[in-house]
Structure 1
Amino acid sequence: MELESAKETPRAGSSLPGAWSPSALEQNFSKILHRLTGQEARQSNSRDVALKDLRALIETTECDRLFEGSGEPHRGTPEILGQVAKALGKYAAPYKEEEGGSDGHSEVAEKAAEVGLLFLKLLGKVETAKNSLDCPAWETGLRHLAGPIYIFAITHCLEKPWTSPKSQEVAGEVLSLLLRVTGCSSEAGFLRGENEDEKGKFIVVMGLLKPDLNKETWKNNPAAKHVFSWILQQITRPWLYQHLERILPPSLLISDDYQTENKILGVRCLHHIVLNVPAADLLQFNRAQVIYHAIFNHLYMPEHNLIQAVLLCLLDLFLILEKTMHWKGDGARTTTHCDEVLRLILTHMEPEHRLLLRRTYARNLPAFVKRLGILTVRHLKRLERVIISYLEVYDGPEEEARLKILETLKLLIQYTWPRISCRLVVLLKAILKLICDVARDPTLTPEPVKNTLLQEATDCLILLDHCSQGQVKGLLAKILLSCEDRTVVSCIRKVQQVPEGTPYHGTECS
């Protein structure tokens, strides 16, 4: 494109080079936009020429001309600039996975670095115009540029397969300059507004992302889901509820994918919504039930990272789903969603042999017992089997699963102590076997971990003794007569040294 062909005579009284008239600027930007989006855009040389011309046009145009509109029937330079910014973002967007693959990532990173430098020049012009008293139109230009430039910056400043250290650095500079120009102290302020009476750019950004977040298109741009997830995390209470209709459908869509990575991303988006939207809004139109059913089926997937994300989300969702459930004391308590999930978890835990999944289940089990409290008696038989079987299996140097199972057992004794006495012998044998295993452990388990295991097991013995009115001490006294292991004897003596009737760790059993 010949820039000179569109150049018009500068306005009277202006001797500055590059003093373009609004109509000339519109023509130049329109030609660049056509080269980036039209049929010619498929030709790399045409895009290269367009980027070169755009760089020259930005550099040679004065700030007070760059953001002026020419009025009807023209759209105005600021609006066309916004369209150019969108086109540049698409030009630097990562390819569909089946199209570019890993071979195209380096090319995308190079494009992103080149486009980022253009955005830096453009935002530099905005900043200059902002600091100048002679150019009040910069706000109009920034209003059209802010959304596309922000999406570009988030797409390339995060560490992803299509980024490189250089592209990340340039995108980070673009984001910093954008926040400075818009007068925002953070991304959250940029999206929600720095002040209560300021709207922010969240609606604008979501409007730009929307075409890439529907069922037919959301996989065409691999970055769209990550950008959506990122901006969603920036908005918290009390601002998020007003955008619920915009953010819930994409979150459900991503969560419903067949790929585990997308399931986890979608569940984390839904979890953020659960944490930051008032319960009344989630209960309206059964939205909370929709979320529950959307992620419940993920519990059948044997992926520990997915299970962890789902369980964390469900534990917070229970507080909303069961908010309106109150026991009136005139019959059996209603089975809750927490009961349903715990029943499924215990079903999966019993035969599970994969260590990562065992640790994930055990890690979250105490929270379910705390949530149900005394109602855990509904699951007592199955919990007993799971606890005994998990205490028998060595779990690696950190012993995370066995430590969490011991924590679960302590909570179980405290909440359901009237029903523990009939299980006293079985639980006592399991705990003593664990203590003996740890005392004779030939593995490389660190001593602090062994000590923690022994202390937790001893605490369980003390609780059992309280619940059985001292029966445990009587049974342990017989063991002392024949036991020669100093570690085991030390644990038993700690139990015997606790005075009768002394409350322990808040338990009411005595």
Structure 2
Amino acid sequence: MELSGLVRALRLEGPRDGEQPPPAVPPAEQVFLQIGQLFSEGAGGAPKAGVVRDLGALVEAADCRWLFGGLSPATLGELVAVLNGYAAPPKQEQDAAELPSKDSAYTAAAERAADVGSVFLHLLVKLEAAKTQESLGVPVVGPILCRVTGPVYIFAATHVVERPWTNVRSQSVAQELLALLVQAAGCGSVAEFLRGKNEDEEGRFAAVMGLLKQELTKDTWKCNPATKFVFSWTLPHVTRPWLSRYLERVLPPSLLISDDYREENKILGVRCLHHIILNVPAADLCQFNRAQVVYHALYNHLYSREAPLIQTVLVCLLDLLPILERAQRQQKQARPTTPCDEVLQLVLTHMEAEHRLALRRVYARTLPAFVQRLGILIVQHLKRLERVILGYLEVCDGPEEEARLGILEALQCTIKHAWPRMPCRLPVLLKALLKMIWDVHTDQGSTPEPVKAALLQGATECLILLDRCSEGQVKVLLEGVYSSCEENRVRECLRKVQENT
């Protein structure tokens, strides 16, 4: 085994003449202490790379008793933390632009990570082997594992998926390392590793968040570009009922990330908030007004002009609104409008004036869920909702027709819930639906036949629902149209309405 680089880097000197010999220190601890000091001194990159590779070879070849006999867990924990910092992506200024994916600094970080990951792999293999040795066993290995688990997990989570600072080798090492770490902890999955095997058992999530806490503050979270990804990748593994005990640790960073000016960070933060909403009991969310804080943070995002963000926020709000309304009922608060009313009012205002197809599709896809959520109370918004429906039925939005399909579904929900108010709106709705049927039939564009069929089916169902709530008025009004129409496809739609009982 060639360890010349490591030997030259260490200062393993004996006592000089006349000096008292130092206290007996296990050789492995002496090596680890000096390597940690070497990396803390800020030496050049090339010597460190050689030392890391030599250290990996040393750990792989060394006897378990030599490595861990008398070794302080704190010493090994500090070395793992130092190596983790050495392999981390390059630091950046708080408001600096993101480094490009092919940046040389990120390429170098990926190489360092692959080498450090190999050291960690050899270390975990040795720890597993030491568990079965009589002179070491779990009493020696257990405290060491507890000390290194958190930093090793953060290293693996930093490099386990494709990022600008990873390459194929670093990702492979990180994936293997994560699997071995889960096995060493006696768990069957990453989720079990983080949250514990059962509700009463404490997992390693608290230790991981304790290490991330100092990097997830307002002044530091952007300095390490990997921090937000480690947090957002880890959080979904902790679900109900475990997540509620960590609410105070995960809610502030989620709000912090969602409040950034970059769209990608906003989306990342909102997804974290959505996971919290789905996996924390409503009582805990409403305590200390947390749910209201989350609601206002999400509501402010509705003024954005970015379709992916609006989509993420609306889906998240749909799961938060029932929690807020339940809390209002329990507190017997009399309010002229509910949070759902406030959101829908703003959404309809934006929909009415929106001309960008991407946003129109997002709004139209989400609108049926809001109508369903309000039920009969949708009558408070009928005037504006009618204008939106008429405007969206009129405009073709491309081959997939997502906006018109969504608005047809919203119209069906509206008719079902607010049917007593539909007869007076029958003339304008009937005209809009018939015009849309004709436009779809005569469309010579790129719209696929299955999409055309879905549009015609949706319009036909709306006509049937209107006929039911108007006591057959639609059949009467369509008699003349049906008898004079010569287009078979349009006649088929009208026939379904006429024959429906």
TM-score (norm 1): 0.90
Alignment of 1:259-278 (within 5 A): 259-278=262-281
Q: How big is the shift at 1:103?
A: 3.0
Q: How big is the shift at 1:184?
A: 0.9
Mean Cα displacement is larger for which, 52-61 or 216-225?
A: 52-61
Q: Among residues 31, 37, 41, which one is paired with 1:38 in the alignment?
A: 41
Contact 2:84 2:152 in 1 (8 A): yes
Q: How big is the shift at 1:182?
A: 1.4
Partners of 1:166 and 1:374 in 2: how far apart? 58
Contact 2:26 2:69 in 1 (8 A): no
Give the 3-state SS of the residue equivalent to 2:202 in structure 1: coil
Q: Among residues 485, 488, 492, which one is paired with 2:487 in the alignment?
A: 485
Q: Among residues 138, 156, 159, which one is paired with 1:156 in the alignment?
A: 159
Alignment of 1:85-104 (within 5 A): 85-97=80-92, 98=96, 101=100, 102-104=103-105
- Cα distance, 1:270–1:385 mapped onto 2, change above 3 Å: same
Partners of 2:431 and 2:200 in 1: how far apart? 65
Partners of 1:6 and 1:318 in 2: how far apart? 65
- Cα distance, 1:327–1:383 mapped onto 2, change above 3 Å: farther
Alignment of 1:232-271 (within 5 A): 232-271=235-274
Alignment of 1:334-373 (within 5 A): 334-373=336-375
| Match status 1:314 vs 2:317 | yes
Give the equivalent residue in structure 2 for 1:115.
116
- Cα distance, 1:168–1:129 mapped onto 2, change above 3 Å: same
Q: 1:78-109: per-residue Cα shift (whole Å, max 9, x none)?
A: 21111111111111111235496533221111
Q: Which has the higher contact order (CA 8 A, sep 6+)?
A: 2
Q: Percent identity?
A: 57
Partners of 2:57 and 2:467 in 1: how far apart? 83
Partners of 1:213 and 1:205 in 2: how far apart? 12
Alignment of 1:305-454 (within 5 A): 305-326=308-329, 334-454=336-456
- Cα distance, 1:177–1:327 mapped onto 2, change above 3 Å: closer
Give the 3-state SS of the residue equivalent to 2:88 in structure 1: coil
Partners of 2:471 and 2:268 in 1: how far apart? 50
Q: How big is the shift at 1:122?
A: 0.8
Q: 1:308-352: per-residue Cα shift (whole Å, max 9, x none)?
A: 1111111111111000334999x9973100000000101111111
Mean Cα displacement is larger for which, 159-168 or 251-260?
A: 159-168
Q: How big is the shift at 1:60?
A: 4.4
Partners of 1:108 and 1:489 in 2: how far apart? 67
Give the equivalent residue in structure 2 for 1:294.
297
Give the 3-state SS of the residue equivalent to 2:327 in structure 1: coil
5+ residue gaps, structure 1: 9-20, 70-75, 500-510
- Cα distance, 1:238–1:278 mapped onto 2, change above 3 Å: same
Give the equivalent residue in structure 2 for 1:218.
221
Give the equivalent residue in structure 2 for 1:16.
none
Give the equivalent residue in structure 2 for 1:15.
none
Q: How big is the shift at 1:408?
A: 0.3
Contact 1:263 1:306 in 2 (8 A): yes
Q: 1:98-131: per-residue Cα shift (whole Å, max 9, x none)?
A: 4965332211111111111111111111111123
Give the equivalent residue in structure 2 for 1:202.
205
Give the equivalent residue in structure 2 for 1:231.
234
Alignment of 1:7-22 (within 5 A): 22=25
Q: 1:361-392: per-residue Cα shift (whole Å, max 9, x none)?
A: 01100000011001101110111011111011
- Give the letter aligned to residue 89 of structure 2: P
- Cα distance, 1:200–1:336 mapped onto 2, change above 3 Å: same
- Give the letter aligned to residue 407 of structure 1: E
Q: 1:140-196: per-residue Cα shift (whole Å, max 9, x none)?
A: 211111111111111101111211122111111111111111111001111111244
5+ residue gaps, structure 2: 1-5, 15-23
Q: Among residues 192, 197, 206, which one is paired with 2:195 in the alignment?
A: 192
Q: 1:450-500: per-residue Cα shift (whole Å, max 9, x none)?
A: 11111110000001111111111111001123221111111111100012x
Contact 1:458 1:495 in 2 (8 A): yes
| Match status 1:77 vs 2:77 | no
Partners of 1:395 and 1:22 in 2: how far apart? 74
Contact 1:303 1:357 in 2 (8 A): yes
- Cα distance, 1:300–1:328 mapped onto 2, change above 3 Å: closer
| Match status 1:2 vs 2:7 | yes
Q: How big is the shift at 1:6?
A: 3.7
Partners of 1:105 and 1:39 in 2: how far apart? 19
Partners of 2:11 and 2:383 in 1: how far apart? 85
| Match status 1:171 vs 2:174 | yes
- Give the letter aligned to residue 498 of structure 1: N
- Give the letter aligned to residue 206 of structure 1: M
Partners of 2:487 and 2:40 in 1: how far apart? 79
Contact 1:35 1:50 in 2 (8 A): no
Give the 3-state SS of the residue equivalent to 1:216 in structure 2: coil
Partners of 1:53 and 1:22 in 2: how far apart? 21
Give the equivalent residue in structure 2 for 1:144.
147
Mean Cα displacement is larger for which, 21-30 or 458-467?
A: 21-30
- Give the letter aligned to residue 367 of structure 1: A
Partners of 1:32 and 1:327 in 2: how far apart? 60
Q: How big is the shift at 1:197?
A: 4.2
RMSD: 2.1
Contact 2:56 2:118 in 1 (8 A): no
Contact 1:304 1:360 in 2 (8 A): yes
Give the 3-state SS of the residue equivalent to 1:389 in structure 2: helix
Partners of 1:311 and 1:427 in 2: how far apart? 27
- Give the letter aligned to residue 224 of structure 1: T
- Paired positions, count: 478
Partners of 1:150 and 1:38 in 2: how far apart? 25
Contact 1:7 1:24 in 2 (8 A): no
TM-score (norm 2): 0.91
Contact 2:411 2:462 in 1 (8 A): yes
